Structure 1
Amino acid sequence: MFEALITAAADGIILVDAEGHIRIFNPACARLFGYRPEEVTGKDVSILIPSPYRDAQNGRRLASRETLGRRKDGSTFPIYLSVGQGKAEGAEVSVCIVHDLTERGAAPLMDVSRLSAMAQMGSSMAHEINQPLAAVMNYVKAAQRTLETCHDARAAKAGELLAKAGEQIVRAGAIIRNRRDFIARGQPSRREEALYKIIEKAVARALTGPGAGTAKVTLTLDRKLPPVLVDKMQIQQVIIHLIRNALEAMQSMPEPRLSIECSSPQAGFAEVTISDSGPGLSEAEIGRLFQPFVTTKERGMGLGLTISKSIINAHGGRLWATPNPGAGVSFHFQLPLIEKTEQ
């Protein structure tokens, strides 16, 4: 009866023994991971979890958490493991229910990304459009001054038309400023968060998709740092963007390596470093990276890093890049820590 229920379940279900070996792998799991049950039965459950999440186990068995799943073809996808303990035939077992987060996890971050892009583009466009509008207004005023010396009826009519044109220019500028302010007015929802948890979830989502499965990823996170006051969706967006940039830069490298570290080298601040082994960038290229519409990608818009920098700045931190001594680039950002004071 128990096995029949597992077989019919819509969610992926894995039964794991005390040694971490897979005992039951239901059809829903077979569809999710691409393995036939006989291919994984008896093998360590860690084959379904990619590095660095597999390496982060540190000898402990599966626990309920958001992580990555690794398919048979090496591709990865975000999952939530719901783990319960029990007994089967007198032996201790773990029952793992696998929830695919591919669609549910991406939607909120895509919304944040689109809104941030709209805000950045709105601000940039307002700045760019206001300059020619100001120039047109100057030409209109110059034409009005020229016509003031003429005493022809047609000149007077032209002056009236120019005055109306000037009014519309002023109106256009006000509309642009209003739309820019409306987009930028939204206040992020900030809460005390453990930064290492934000990083782990962001990495899980960033490592989903093409090119992610080939990179060797290492995570070095200080889990004892004080919390940070942040909008976690925005900080996740920054981390995901930086990781995906790194993965894209390393696509042609024979041994791509990605390192994500979190520590506190400066008192009062947490620092996150995302380092790749890609072809690297020159000092001149690094100096222009955070300018709007500047990109090293063939089809890039040049807004991702600008948006990321504005998010970090809005949180009281800073974002910068440095070339690696050997190969690749490191992106760093700092966020203020919340230091708890004893009452």
Structure 2
Amino acid sequence: MNQIDEVPGEAGQPRRRARKVRAAQELLRRRLQLARTERLLTAGELAAAFAHVLNQPLTAIIGYSDAGILLERAGPVSQDKAQRYFDEIRKQAHRAARGIVELRGFLNREAAREAVDLNAVARELRSVLQAELSPADLVIELDLAAGLAPVTANRMHVEQVLMALIGNAVDAIREAGTPDGRIVVRSVDDGAGMVQISIGDSGPGLDAAALAGLGESMHTTKRNGLGLGLMLARSLIESHRGRLWAESAPGRGTQIHITLPLANPS
């Protein structure tokens, strides 16, 4: 018997094999498409992050250079004034270089994890950031849960995310001209094996459309500059098995919430 379709149970085998081959080819195509999409997203995050790190120092370097050229063309420039311009250019160049080094670690999602005390991180950041702010201009307050257990995370990643989010809150309050600006950093054990830390500001808040767009790549509510964007921060927190989301309403400020897993959940 040479005809396959005359053998019981084997009549549909060639067609079934063809369907399996087509299904495997389609699955491979979809996986390759997904891999390409993930590479593009990573490239977009990287471009946004480098723009965020380099935009301000490079703008300052260009500004000081242009001002120095204009002064020199206008007439003799004193050595002290020239030295001040050179010092500022040097300082901004070092700032850009330091930002690139920090960014490399920030984007390394596989960096070592350890037990991290979020309350200690919040206290240290408040000490650093408040020193750069005038208390009459803007105050950073802490409302931290006592006896909070540590989380599993990379400390530098957490610091960079919180610093970026607090910095965004500072910018929002200043750009809106909100009097008696106030940022509150809160922490709490959510009772489900996670610690939640929240950054709330007394800024103008966001409408529904702006709030919905906060998670989009390259989205920013700032008039100038790209900002870090929540997409990068969110993807980094999610790589720690955590979650990041925002709540806001016009006139009532914005709250950014982060959860991270306990190091030793009970």
Q: What is the TM-score with the length of structure 2 in the denominator? A: 0.57
Indicate if the aligned counterparts of 1:112 and 1:237 stay in contact, CA closer than 8 A.
no
Aligned to 2:99: 110
Percentage identity across paired residues of the two chains: 31
Indicate if the aligned counterparts of 1:192 and 1:230 stay in contact, CA closer than 8 A.
yes
State the AA in 2 paired with 1:189.
A
The alignment status of 1:276 with 2:201, answered yes or no, reads: yes
Aligned to 2:82: none
1:159-184 CA distance string (max 9 Å, x none)? xxxxxxxxxxxxxxxxxxxxxxxxx6
Shift of 1:281: 0.5
Unaligned runs of 5+ in 1: 1-105, 120-183
State the AA in 1 paired with 2:203.
G
Indicate if the aligned counterparts of 2:130 and 2:140 stay in contact, CA closer than 8 A.
no
Distance verdict in 2 for CA 1:110–1:204, change over 3 Å: farther
- Secondary structure at the residue paired with 1:237? helix
Indicate if the aligned counterparts of 1:211 and 1:248 stay in contact, CA closer than 8 A.
no
Aligned to 2:140: 217
Aligned counterpart for 1:206 among listed residues 129, 133, 147: 129
Aligned counterpart for 1:327 among listed residues 241, 252, 256: 252
Aligned to 1:312: 237
Aligned counterparts, 1:232-247, within 5 A: 232-247=155-170
Name whichever structure is richer in strand by fraction. Answer: 1
- Secondary structure at the residue paired with 2:123? helix
Name whichever structure is richer in helix by fraction. Answer: 2
Q: Which has the higher contact order (CA 8 A, sep 6+)?
A: 2
Aligned to 1:292: 217
1:243-282 CA distance string (max 9 Å, x none)? 1111111111112111110001342110011100101101
Indicate if the aligned counterparts of 1:259 and 1:276 stay in contact, CA closer than 8 A.
yes
State the AA in 1 paired with 2:154.
D
Unaligned runs of 5+ in 2: 1-94
Aligned counterparts, 1:32-47, within 5 A: none
- Secondary structure at the residue paired with 2:218? coil
Shift of 1:202: 2.2
Aligned-partner Cα distance in 2 for 1:272–1:198: 11
Indicate if the aligned counterparts of 1:228 and 1:336 stay in contact, CA closer than 8 A.
yes
Shift of 1:115: 2.5
Aligned counterpart for 2:117 among listed residues 194, 207, 215: 194
Aligned-partner Cα distance in 2 for 1:261–1:318: 16
Aligned to 2:150: 227
- Total equivalences in the alignment: 171
Aligned-partner Cα distance in 1 for 2:195–2:130: 23
Aligned-partner Cα distance in 2 for 1:250–1:316: 31
Distance verdict in 2 for CA 1:340–1:291, change over 3 Å: closer
Aligned-partner Cα distance in 2 for 1:200–1:306: 25
Shift of 1:216: 2.7
- Secondary structure at the residue paired with 1:319? strand
Indicate if the aligned counterparts of 1:116 and 1:307 stay in contact, CA closer than 8 A.
no
Indicate if the aligned counterparts of 2:140 and 2:184 stay in contact, CA closer than 8 A.
yes
- Secondary structure at the residue paired with 1:250? helix
Q: What is the TM-score with the length of structure 1 in the denominator? A: 0.45
State the AA in 2 paired with 1:247.
V
1:66-85 CA distance string (max 9 Å, x none)? xxxxxxxxxxxxxxxxxxxx
Aligned counterparts, 1:1-343, within 5 A: 110-111=99-100, 113-115=102-104, 187-209=110-132, 214-251=137-174, 252-324=177-249, 327-339=252-264
